[in-house]
Chains A and B, each alone.
Chain A
Amino acid sequence: MTAVAAPVAATAPRERERRRWAPLLWLAPPMLVVLGFFCYPLALVVRQSLVSESGEVGLAVWRHVVTSPEFTAALGRTVLLSVGATAGCVLLGTFLALVLAFTPFPGARVVSRVVDAVLAFPSFLIALSFTFLYGSAGVLNAALGGGAGGPVDFLYGPWGVLLAEVTFYTPFVMRPVLAAFAQVPSAQLDVAASLGARPWRVLRQVVLPEAWPALASGTCLTLLMTMNEFGIVLFVGAKDVITLPMLVHTKGIVTFDYPAACVVAVVNVVLSVALYTVHRWVFRVLGTNRAGEGRAGAGLDPA
């Protein structure tokens, strides 16, 4: 859409004016969609959070919600769950990716295809399958001979949600880390090893520095996604696991308390946009140092 050949001096002022405004006009339709269906509703959520049900404007709803024990509990639970699940995903994902990349075995390709497939799955699938695995009448309890109400009983609590999130989000860490590992030339490893470096040292000094940007941005992204996870929490349906998105859902749909739901929503959005900003920053700063990692770190980029 840029005019290449036309010399600027020869164009009439009107033509020049048109050139300046044309790109902005072209941007208008998609921007209208985003502004109308995303930004405007979000702004209304902020406004609604400042108006109480009796119509008064002020921070009354905020004060009421933020000091309520159910909100503080949900906030604490959300942060704990998301930090715990992310730590699990990063540890497990890095280990699995290391083995897949550097000590490949027959069938390693199949495993990476499975990892890719999980990225296209809905998260509630994991919660559903956990019912069969760890539920009161599940496989594990049957194997341990307990029958219904057997010895394994962690599913309908925070640990069930945590493990489900680790299962679902580990592939989201593995994918960018695997892509970063692929950038490490194997000759480099062989040279380091032939010079007498032990595997642990090769790992620390050759492999991990290469994967660090992908790991950092993957960690941020996983924190963000686990914080906003809804499907798993909904399907596990644990009474005492109320996270921020779950609280938004309960307040909005079950008790129809829109102002309170909006307060929780604003807090959730602020937290998650902050994490997202860190992610973009990490991605830019660390990603530009090395060629190729920009794409590897994108994580959600499917191409």
Chain B
Amino acid sequence: MLVWTRRSRLLLWLAFGVLFGVVIAAPLAMVGLAAVAGTWNGVLPAEYTTGHLADAVSGDALASALVSVQTGLIASLAAVVCGAWAALAARSAPAPVRRVVDTVLHLPVAVPSVVVGLSLLVAFSQPPFLLNGTRWIVLVAHLVIVLPFGYGVVSAALDRADPVLADVAASLGASPARVLLRVRLPLLLPALSAAASLALALSMGEVGATIMLYPPDWRTLPVSVFAQTDRGEVFLASASTAVLLGLTLVGLLTLGAARGRAAER
């Protein structure tokens, strides 16, 4: 529409194809290819194998994958509950309080994950709050990192939501609890599911805080991938990354399906 002649349009597409292909598509394709590569000395792998993928879903790698899934589910569930709770409660608070809450809950976005890790190490390494060395410190770190997204998404949805429905329900005599459970939360379901998706994706790929905090019995998949890369097992690392992406995708699709059903109602 912007470019009218055929020649210039083709040139533009060519430039787009080259830039997009080289900068974005090629790196993404590489991991997939490496996950199934047997030996790779030329431009393309010389032979293909599913051995690395099999290794990535057995033994230590499998244990790591399960840890990642549990961490992702717990952290995103906690973040959505906590974030939605805060967003709903802030609605009825006075404006200055609401502004403070909004700022504080968004703030973890602006703090590097490594610093979140360090701060938890500093705060929870001695009694009375001894969390260091347990899995709880990893879960707490993930919660802190994904919480702003849980809060932000639900809060933005509340900004757009029509308050009249809840008011009507209340004026017809529904108790606050009933208004919340039967009117406000159902209306928020799509936002809750979107918040959970974002939190899950972030938590599954989190590496900065986790690498500062993880105890030996709670090593998430990204940390394991780093250990594999460090040992030079790059194909296994690629296979583990592919497993990580697959698990994330399954989670996102499930949540997306829930969102679709919620929107239909």
Q: How far is the CB of A114 from chain B (nearest CB, A)?
A: 7
Q: In the complex, are the beta carbons of B9 and A1 less than 8 A apart?
A: no
For B198, the chain A residues whose CB sits under 8 A away are 300, 302
For A203, the chain B residues whose CB sits under 8 A away are 2
Q: In the complex, are the beta carbons of A199 and B123 less than 8 A apart?
A: no
Q: In the complex, are the beta carbons of A258 and B229 less than 8 A apart?
A: no
For A125, the chain B residues whose CB sits under 8 A away are 28, 31, 205, 241, 245
Q: CA separation between A131 and B101, bound complex, in Å?
A: 43
Q: CA separation between A166 and B23, bound complex, in Å?
A: 8
Q: In the complex, are the beta carbons of A122 and B1 less than 8 A apart?
A: no
Q: In the complex, are the beta carbons of B113 and A230 less than 8 A apart?
A: yes
Q: In the complex, are the beta carbons of A133 and B27 less than 8 A apart?
A: yes
Q: Mark B51-95, 1 if CB is under 8 A from A, else 0.
A: 000000000000000000000000000000011011011111110
Other-chain residue from B82, B205, B226 in contact with A30 (beta carbon distance below 8 A): B82
Closest B residue, CB atoms, query A171: B24
For B191, the chain A residues whose CB sits under 8 A away are 303
* B262 interfacial contact with A, CB 8 Å: no
Closest B residue, CB atoms, query A131: B234
* B250 interfacial contact with A, CB 8 Å: no
Q: In the complex, are the beta carbons of B204 and A202 less than 8 A apart?
A: no
Q: In the complex, are the beta carbons of B112 and A114 less than 8 A apart?
A: no
Q: In the complex, are the beta carbons of B118 and A303 less than 8 A apart?
A: no
For A275, the chain B residues whose CB sits under 8 A away are 110
Q: Which of B135-151 contact A (CB under 8 A)?
A: 140, 143-144, 147, 149
Q: Which of B142-190 contact A (CB under 8 A)?
A: 143-144, 147, 149, 152-153, 156-157, 167, 170-171, 176, 179-180, 190
Q: In the complex, are the beta carbons of B113 and A167 less than 8 A apart?
A: no
Q: In the complex, are the beta carbons of A1 and B110 less than 8 A apart?
A: no
Q: How far is the CB of A242 from chain B (nearest CB, A)?
A: 13
Other-chain residue from A34, A38, A244 in contact with B116 (beta carbon distance below 8 A): A38
Q: In the complex, are the beta carbons of A128 and B122 less than 8 A apart?
A: no
Q: CA separation between A1 and B171, bound complex, in Å?
A: 11
Given the known inter-chain contacts A129-B27, A130-B27, A171-B24, please indicate yes or no for A189 contacting B2, CB distance below 8 A. Answer: yes
* A273 interfacial contact with B, CB 8 Å: yes
* B19 interfacial contact with A, CB 8 Å: yes
Q: In the complex, are the beta carbons of A2 and B170 less than 8 A apart?
A: yes
Q: How far is the CB of A137 from chain B (nearest CB, A)?
A: 7
Number of interface residues of B (CB under 8 A): 103
Q: Which of A88-113 contact B (CB under 8 A)?
A: 92, 95-96, 98-100, 102-103, 105, 111
Q: CA separation between A46 and B170, bound complex, in Å?
A: 47
* A44 interfacial contact with B, CB 8 Å: yes
Q: CA separation between A34 and B140, bound complex, in Å?
A: 10
For A52, the chain B residues whose CB sits under 8 A away are none
Q: In the complex, are the beta carbons of B19 and A92 less than 8 A apart?
A: yes
For A224, the chain B residues whose CB sits under 8 A away are 110
- Pick the interface stretch among A10-18, A20-28, A54-62, A68-76: A20-28
Q: In the complex, are the beta carbons of A95 and B19 less than 8 A apart?
A: yes
* B48 interfacial contact with A, CB 8 Å: no
Q: Which of A121-176 contact B (CB under 8 A)?
A: 121-126, 128-133, 137, 139, 142-143, 147, 163, 166-167, 170-171
Can you list 18 A-B pairs with a CB-CB distance of less than 8 A? A23-B94, A30-B89, A42-B115, A44-B122, A96-B16, A99-B13, A103-B1, A103-B9, A121-B28, A121-B245, A124-B226, A129-B27, A143-B43, A186-B1, A230-B207, A248-B114, A253-B212, A262-B118
Taking Cβ atoms with an 8 Å cutoff, the residues of A that contact B are: 1-5, 22-24, 26-27, 29-31, 33-35, 37-42, 44-45, 48, 92, 95-96, 98-100, 102-103, 105, 111, 114-115, 118-126, 128-133, 137, 139, 142-143, 147, 163, 166-167, 170-171, 186, 189-190, 193, 199, 202-203, 207, 224, 227-228, 230-231, 234-235, 237, 244-246, 248-249, 252-253, 258, 261-262, 265, 268-269, 272-273, 275-276, 280, 295, 298, 300-303
Taking Cβ atoms with an 8 Å cutoff, the residues of B that contact A are: 1-4, 9, 12-13, 15-16, 19-20, 23-31, 33-34, 40-44, 82-83, 85-86, 88-94, 97, 101, 104-124, 140, 143-144, 147, 149, 152-153, 156-157, 167, 170-171, 176, 179-180, 190-191, 194, 197-198, 201, 204-208, 211-212, 222, 225-226, 229-230, 234, 237-238, 241, 244-245, 248-249, 252
